[in-house]
Amino acid sequence: MTADLQPPAQVLNCAGRSVDLSRPHVMGILNVTPDSFSDGGRFLHLDSSLRHVAEMVAAGASFIDVGGESTRPGAAAVSISEELDRVIPVIDAIVREFDVVVSIDTSKAEIIRAAATAGAGLINDVRALREAGALEAAADTALPLCLMHMQGQPADMQNSPNYYNVVADVLAFLEKRIAACETVGIDRSRIVIDPGFGFGKTAEHNLQLLNRMSEFVQTGFPILVGLSRKSLLGKITGRDVEQRLAGGVAAAALAVTKGARIIRAHDVPATIDAVKVAQAMIRESVDE
């Protein structure tokens, strides 16, 4: 990777915690759902959630991404009250017990506001703040946020993904959502972008996005990438979801060499190692 592909250094102010994006970070996934595609039901109880958070933080995760509604293909919608019941006690507990940024994985304005009040430091929205009131809620929190591209909705997004030019189309969508953020007073320095691997894309679309990530880097916005355990890895390797660790860490390392700043992952310890190796290759030096 050449130096001109490196995104500009940027520090995110995540509810009082500073995250320096001049180096890549790992975001550990905590799904407090019964139906997420690879870990549904494992962390529904607070004690099991916090044990998992402790493991991810000890391994070096900079963010813990808490989600209370599955966005896997065909996932059922969850009510506001149920999502609140799932995520707010967990966020409260993580903020009290761990020195880590909590990210809230949601699209609902009510959840955004409640999570920010509970101490969340980042908003991670697969719908890029397109739901009613979400833009205004995000603006009011003053938190940084991640805008992700998704074609369609989780219920139908993988039925027949179609693009004229997947990279150009995704970039155009993200540019429109960035402009929408600016209209409500969200500064560009608060924005992270995510191409949305696996969200309304074929395997070929995903590979094109990964291979041409330099075009996303050139926007100047930090890039978040989520490839962990995705179906793309299954199609490449032929392995079931629980057997995609090697493929996931390979994809994480590739994403870092192509300019990703935040890697969202289920398998945090192995992903941390992959990110360190990729970063050492980029710098041609080893951090002491």
| Angle made by CA atoms 79, 14, 126, in degrees to the nearest 5 | 40
User: Residue 240 and residue 250: Cα distance in Å, rounded?
Assistant: 16
Our measurement of the distance from residue 254's CA atom to the centroid of its chain's CA atoms, rounded to an integer in Å, reads 16
User: Residue 212 and residue 166: Cα distance in Å, rounded?
Assistant: 10
Structure tokens at 248: 């996931």
Catalytic residue numbers? Answer: 230, 264
Structure tokens at 40: 């549904």
| Angle made by CA atoms 275, 28, 110, in degrees to the nearest 5 | 140
Q: Give me the half-sphere count of Cα atoms (radius 13 Å) on the Cβ side of residue 73.
A: 15
Residues for the chain: how many in total?
288
Q: Quick one: how many helices (H) and strands (E) in the chain?
A: 10, 10
User: Residue 250 and residue 239: Cα distance in Å, rounded?
Assistant: 14
Residue located via tokens 């139906």: 35
Helix (H, G, I), strand (E, B) or coil at 29: strand
